[in-house]
Amino acid sequence: MRFLADESCDFRVVRGLRAAGHDVTAVIEISPGASDEAVIELAVRERRIFITEDPDFGQLVYASGQPTAGVILLRFPRDVRTTLPAFVADVVAKYGDKLSERFAVLQPGRIRLSK
């Protein structure tokens, strides 16, 4: 699968998905400091599921109804951050294509999928 990881995304998630064979572009590597709108536009143009920890993207994408290739919003508190990369990899393995064009919120032990 193809992903675009926001600057806010824990880089361990990027490494974990890459290790699992996924195509992951990290904003921090290609365009640090890019505007939110430019980042979403890149994800849409390249048909990449966008991964972020920034809740502002929820407002920008979900509430506005802006079309995307999909968004994964990570909401993991500090005390369980060590489980984050494995949890994301497991969700991607389990849900795969069901993540496309959806808005997913991942919390410890929980996933919510919306259209």
- Residue 112 lies inside a defined structural domain of this protein: no
102/99 Cα distance (integer angstroms):
5
71/68 Cα distance (integer angstroms):
7
- Residue 25 lies inside a defined structural domain of this protein: yes
> pTM of the entire structure?
0.92
Read off the pLDDT of residues 21-43 as tens digits, 9 standing for 90 and up: 999 999 999 999 998 889 988 99
- Residue 76 lies inside a defined structural domain of this protein: yes
Query: Which pair of structure tokens corresponds to residue 54?
Result: 């920034």
- Residue 93 lies inside a defined structural domain of this protein: yes
> What length does the chain have?
115
The total of structural domains in the chain comes to 1
Beta strand ranges found along the chain (DSSP E): 2-5, 23-26, 49-52, 71-74, 103-107, 110-114
Read off the pLDDT of residues 62-86 as tens digits, 9 standing for 90 and up: 666 777 899 999 999 989 999 999 9
* Domain extent at residue 79: 2-106
- Residue 47 lies inside a defined structural domain of this protein: yes
Q: How does strand 2-5 pair with strand 23-26?
A: parallel
Above pLDDT 90, what percent of the chain?
70
